[in-house]
Structure 1
């Protein structure tokens, strides 16, 4: 029977340092840890078959790849098999370790290099992005990847996440704050989340979060530029869109204005979602790869006013045989028009800092309420803002369906009105 031994602890194993010669640390039940001169920690189980007078050593794996708990389970299995006369095959005998110290040293070095590479900021951030991509909208993932790949990896890519400290990150965030303050705030958020991911993977202790809260200078955050109090300016925006030379971009911007869907959703619209007969656009909450299409991740349906149907029928003549309503433009790698093409077009019209594609949502929220008298709950439902609870969500979907159809037609007619210059002096309600 294997000699009784005081069980090992994770702390003992972690503190076990290499010596001039290999040595062992017993755990009991025939299991012991052999520490080579190179620092390689190898699990070995000694078992004896019935009728045999000597024990047979079997190497079952290396720590930390094989944890203490798993090594104990494996040891029990080997001892059980031994009692039944079953030898453990496919393992090296412990006494062979001393004869192949050179190989062990190389193996230890390779293992250490692999562990070091796995712990780099580059590797951890890659695993973090892969995990987050499942639940994120495509645009959210794209922006996060941009920040990580363009700003963080060049400076922190080879940093060891096991020892990364706040002082290592601070200069990078401060430098970003001076040139791209909004991205600096995102970078700070992402670094914190990546460090938390490393903690979850066991690369860092639970109390090792970085202190990033007060690193960046306080800046006044603003909303995306949107025309909300100047009908003449909104009319100019609509006329600019009408005059845009690119038919695809013009149509996409028009649909964004008429439906106030987010630009990424508009750019990636599929013909399978469009019901021209019923006048509805049924948007899946998720993309085929499982990532969010809608920000809430929930399916959404919006009516299409007659002006939107006219635009879509024109596009159907051009792209109706394809998957996407708005095909990609020259030198674009995406399967559909880029959302950046839409915002770029508005900038090119001279509305930079005044109005964005996303800004049509704010325009409806403000002007729809103050000019058209639309109920706030109806507006919130059309904007696909997440209701506070499931009851409100169900109410919004059922109660406001017909009201939203009327509202969106009224909104489209209103945009035609301001586009034609038929406006009066704007007076904000108290």
Structure 2
């Protein structure tokens, strides 16, 4: 018969003090709080992987950044993935890769790569191009390149128009077109 575990309370978690050796406070369902000799409190969960049937321990995060309620929610999410036959570590790894790709695929990053290839032009043109990219980055810089809509470009260009820089606005639109075209060509080459 399985051992019945009384769930932890916020008070128990908060008042857990370090001892001579590391120890754990069990919440049930594989979730527990690991307290180190130094006093660090980390949420961990044990589970069996669906394919290899190996026992795995995963650290969810440290207390108080991860509260008892948040740790229980993470436990529920992990159990959901396990019930669907997925290893939560693989899902987390895939999500991290996706976020890394998106962070490197912002307008600012792609535009910087585009600008670095423009070495055969006059220094004054390079200076003007960087000034236009700086204006564009204020509006589009942190956006993933795939999320940029025509209205976003229009808003960036209108900001230059509002200051009386009509020709700059036109050049900004052209620069966005070049950057987006390079992205489309690169993605097509990757797909082929």
- TM-score, with normalisation over the residues of structure 2? 0.43
- TM-score, with normalisation over the residues of structure 1? 0.20
Pick the structure with more helix per residue.
2
Whichever of the two has the greater Rg, that structure is 1
